[in-house]
Amino acid sequence: MKKSYVIILVIGLGLTALIFQLPKGNVSNTTSNAPAGGANRDAKGDDHQDEHTAESATKSEDTHAAPLTNAQQAAVAKLKSELSQAKTEVSQSSVLDKLINTFVGANHYDSAAYYAGQFADQHPALNNFLRAGQLYFEAQTYALNPTKGKAMGEKARVYFEQVLSKDPSNLLVKTNLAMTYVDTPTPMKGITLLREVIEQEPTFVPALFNLGILSIKSNQFGKGQERFTQILKLEPTNYKAALNLGFCLAQLDKLDEAKKVLRMVLDKSKDPEETKAAQELLAEMQKH
C-alpha cells in the first residue's frame, strides 16, 4: 500500500482521528503540511494576531471553518454584551460557558480559547487554567495553518503548565502538554513527557495512543502496530485505535490483517467518521 494517507490525531478529552488523503510520498514528509494536530480557525496565520481585542478574536476564524450563521452571530453579540456587563465571577463564568459553547459548536476553537484564556488570566484557578489550556490545545489540534498551530500550542502550554503546577498528577494534561511539542524544534520534550506518563501508568491509553501516532509520523509502523494492538487489548471497542492499527498493518504489507481490522471497524463502529475512514482506507488498499 502506498503511503498516500496520513492519520492526524485530534486529542482532547476524547480521542478522534481524521484521515486526509495526501499526494503519494513519505508520511513523515507530508505531515508537515497537514493540520498541526487539531483545528485552529484563524486564516491569517499570525502567531498572536488580534489577541488584544475581543472583537478581533471573532473576526479571525479560519475560512476552512463554516462562517457563523446569522443566528450564531446574533447569539455571540448578545453573549459578548452580557459578558461585558456581568459584575461577578459567577455571572461572568455562566455567560462565558454559553459563549464558549457557541464558538465550539461552530468549530471556532481559537475564539473559544481566546475568551477562556482571558477569563483564566483574570480569575486564576485550576479549572479555569484547565479549560483555557484544553481549548487552545483543541485549536492547535485542528490548526490548518502550521504557524498558527504553533502559536495555539504555545498558549496551551502556558495554561497546561499552570495546571500541572497545581495538580502534577494529572496525566491527561501532561499527555496533551507533550503533544504541543511535536511540531516544534524540540519534539523530544514531548516524547520524554509521554514516556514519563507511561512509566507512571503503563496502561494510560491517551499516552499510548499518542506514542502510536508519533510512530506513524516517523514511519516506525512496527512500533505503531505494537501501541495500537496494546490499546485494543485494553479497550477492544476503541475503533480509532483500530483504524490506526489497520493503517500500520497496511504500511507493513500485512494486507490481510489490515483488512480484517478495518472491516471490524465497519461492522461494529456506530461513528460515521470512523466507518468512512475505514471505507476510504479499504478502497485505497484495493488500488494496490
pLDDT number for residue 26: 32
CA atoms within 13 A of residue 127's CA, in its CB half-sphere: 2
Q: What pTM does this model have?
A: 0.77
> Which alpha helices (H) appear in the chain, and where do they start and end?
27-30, 54-59, 70-85, 89-105, 109-122, 126-141, 146-166, 171-179, 187-200, 205-217, 221-234, 239-251, 255-268, 272-286
Helix axis angle, 272-286 to 239-251, nearest 10°: 10
Domain boundaries, the chain: 39-181
Contact 171, 201 (CB under 8 A): yes
Mean local confidence (pLDDT), 38-56: 37
What is the average pLDDT score of the chain? 82
Mean local confidence (pLDDT), 136-162: 93
pLDDT number for residue 64: 52
* pLDDT of residue 5 exceeding 50: no
Mean local confidence (pLDDT), 46-70: 52
Dump pLDDT digits (tens) for 242-252: 999 999 999 99
Instruction: Please state, in angstroms and as integers, the Cα–Cα distance from residue 206 to each residue in 140, 201, 254, 271, 285, following that order.
Output: 17, 11, 25, 19, 28
Q: Which residue has the cell 476553537?
A: 109
Dump pLDDT digits (tens) for 247-269: 999 999 999 999 999 999 999 99
Q: How far is CA 283 from the centre of its chain?
A: 26
Specify the amino acid at residue 182.
Answer: V
Q: Is 21 helix (H, G, I), strand (E, B) or coil?
A: strand
Cell of 247: 493503517
Average the pLDDT over each of 61-75, 184-198, 230-244, 262-276 and give the range with the smallest value.
61-75
Q: In this structure, which CATH number among 1.25.40, 1.10.860, 3.40.50, 1.10.20 belongs to the domain 39-181? A: 1.25.40
Share of the chain above pLDDT 90, in %: 69
Mean local confidence (pLDDT), 83-108: 96
| Region for residue 50 given its phi and psi (left: phi exceeds 0; alpha: psi -120 to 50; beta: otherwise) | left
* pLDDT of residue 34 exceeding 60: no
pLDDT number for residue 24: 27
* pLDDT of residue 91 exceeding 60: yes
Mean local confidence (pLDDT), 25-52: 35
